[in-house]
């Protein structure tokens, strides 16, 4: 993994400006594009929360001379996952210490205008900025490395069904991902016990932080939990971000920038939407201690005839390229479209509306 450290300055500010443009364009795109089972409101909330985290990271690392802020320039174009781990630790520490919200801007201005140039304590100003970050961290609800976003319980007759949505910052590829799962619970009382639920969440965290194949995740849950039957798991992955100078690795998307037009300030964001569906159940005899029991397993609909689905052990895979209108007008995207990518621009979507 190729990590590039950024220190406060021109490149640091430019990076956060660039990623803000990317996320703003994405926010406009998802309001028009159907990505079931993720509603537009779900994705927009996810994007807004991720933006809050980026703003907090800019304040935190912009005020620190000791901590490195690293960007994954080999693959994703997003910050290294360690930065989001720091956010989670800072939020947990701040909540435990009972940090109060104070007017850091007033403190900063007081130090700036009441002291001479020779007396201004740069370290003191940095400490004020870090306190401002801590206060903002307590007020906002930032995107963290792993979080359960929603749990909806539905009585489906014989069994109880649950819809669970969670989000992660993938540690293997440094990218944000949104997950949704429909499951049936066939255990006693029809209601997931706290113990089983916590075991399920622990598994989701340990596995989804490192991007398992979507079908493997479903089968692992189905295998480990006797009474939990995943009927659908869907994953929405944001990234990589392609931009001249961002990635060392070359591929067909990066080649779009090989244009006679100046595309130095443009970008392309890749989005991948994967889903695995169950198409039924089968019974199988399994050993339970010294006796043999009959157990239900899901039969997952893996489209082995489609390369993208076979590689991910998925029922369906959709891939999108979100780009500026300027790139769509001045670059050759036919190779990517031939490979199955759907190209979306903010301007085209607004025109359709």
Which tokens go with 97?
């210490």
Chain-centre distance for alpha carbon 209: 10
Among candidate residues 273, 109, 84, the one with its CA nearest the CA of residue 177: 273
Which range has the worst mean pLDDT, 118-127, 229-238, 281-290?
Answer: 118-127
Strands (E), the chain: 3-6, 69-72, 146-155, 160-170, 175-185, 228-242, 268-288, 291-300, 316-323, 341-345
User: pLDDT digits over 17-59, tens only?
Assistant: 999 999 998 988 887 777 888 888 889 999 999 999 999 999 8
Which of 15-29, 141-155, 307-321 is most confident? 307-321
pLDDT on residue 103: 40
CA distance 140 to 16: 19
Average pLDDT over residues 65-91: 87
**Confidence band (pLDDT; 50, 70, 90) for 16?**
very high
Do 1 and 172 contact (CB within 8 A), yes or no?
A: no
Average pLDDT over residues 340-347: 82
Dihedrals φ, ψ of 191, to 5°?
A: -120, 130
Q: Percent of the chain scored above 90 by pLDDT?
A: 42
Question: Is the pLDDT higher at 322 or at 104?
Answer: 322
**Quick check: 134 pLDDT over 80?**
no
CA distance 237 to 169: 10
pLDDT on residue 97: 45
Which tokens go with 189?
């009382």
| Average pLDDT over the chain, rounded to an integer | 83
Residue entry with tokens 């540690």: 171
Dihedrals φ, ψ of 251, to 5°?
A: -155, -175
Which of 94-98, 102-106, 273-277 is most confident? 273-277
């Amino acid at each position: 993994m190729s990590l590039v450290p950024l220190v406060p300055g021109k490149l640091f500010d430019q990076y956060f400006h660039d990623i803000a443009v990317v996320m703003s364009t994405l926010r406009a795109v998802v309001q028009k594009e159907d990505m079931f089972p993720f509603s537009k409101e779900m994705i927009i909330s996810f994007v807004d929360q991720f933006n809050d985290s980026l703003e907090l990271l800019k304040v935190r690392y912009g005020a620190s001379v000791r901590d490195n802020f690293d960007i994954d320039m080999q693959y994703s174009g997003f910050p290294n996952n360690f930065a989001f781990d720091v956010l989670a630790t800072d939020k947990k520490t701040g909540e435990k210490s009972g940090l109060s919200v104070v007017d850091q801007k007033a403190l900063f201005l007081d130090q700036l205008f009441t002291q001479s140039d020779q007396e201004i304590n740069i370290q003191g100003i940095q400490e004020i900025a870090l306190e401002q970050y801590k206060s903002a961290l307590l007020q906002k609800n930032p995107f963290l490395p792993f979080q359960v976003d929603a749990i909806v319980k539905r009585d489906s007759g014989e069994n109880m069904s649950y819809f669970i949505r969670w989000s992660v910052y993938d540690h293997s590829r440094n990218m944000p991902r949104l997950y949704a799962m429909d499951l049936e619970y066939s255990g006693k009382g029809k209601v997931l016990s706290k113990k089983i639920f916590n075991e399920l969440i622990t598994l989701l965290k340990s596995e989804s932080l490192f991007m398992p194949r979507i079908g493997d995740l479903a089968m692992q849950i189905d295998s480990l939990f006797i009474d939990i039957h995943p009927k659908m798991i869907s994953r929405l992955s944001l990234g990589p971000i392609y931009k001249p100078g961002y990635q060392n690795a070359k591929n067909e998307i990066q080649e779009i920038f090989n244009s006679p037009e100046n595309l130095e300030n443009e970008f392309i964001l890749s989005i991948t939407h994967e889903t695995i569906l169950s198409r039924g159940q089968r019974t199988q005899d399994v050993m339970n201690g010294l006796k043999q029991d009959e157990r239900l397993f899901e039969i997952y609909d893996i489209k082995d005839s489609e390369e993208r689905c076979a590689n991910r052990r998925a029922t369906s895979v959709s891939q999108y390229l979100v780009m500026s209108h300027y790139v769509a007008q001045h670059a050759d995207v036919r190779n990517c479209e031939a490979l199955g990518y759907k190209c979306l621009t903010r301007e085209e979507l607004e025109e359709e509306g």
